[in-house]
Amino acid sequence: MTTILDILTGGRTIIAVRRQWTQHEGARDASDQRVHPQDGAACAWCAHGALMRASGLPAHHPLVTEVRRLLDEACMALFGATAAEVNDGPRVDGVSPRVQVLAGYDRAIARARAEMAEAA
């Protein structure tokens, strides 16, 4: 069974590779055209698109919705903006949006791990 932690770590792994990250679309193909995040031609994803790709689930599946909420809350706490706003935003103090999104992922992953430990 796929877990929140699986999806978060999978999404982070995807966009940790610079060439696999994009802005302003959920996913893009090698021709820089918009594609669905789960399309086999996709080769770059935004913050939320990477979650969809990692999950393999529909965008409105309850698990995907929960993971997006956790990532958005993490980005709000760090940057005062949702993951999508951070992803599509400019550099801030010389830090690229991708690096900011990765920090949001790290915070969300830490929270998911803590919640799993509490539940155990």
Residue 45: helix, strand or coil by DSSP? Answer: strand
Q: What is the pTM of this model?
A: 0.95
Any idea where the domains of the chain sit in the sequence? 4-119
pLDDT band at 116 (very low <50, low <70, confident <90, very high): confident
Report the pLDDT value the prediction gives residue 120, as an integer from 0 to 100.
81
- What does the pLDDT look like over 49-105, one tens digit per residue? 999 999 999 989 999 999 999 999 999 999 999 999 999 999 999 999 999 999 999
Does residue 64 contact residue 22 with C-beta atoms inside 8 Å? no
- What does the pLDDT look like over 23-54, one tens digit per residue? 999 999 999 999 999 999 999 999 999 999 99
CB atoms within 10 A of CB 65: 11
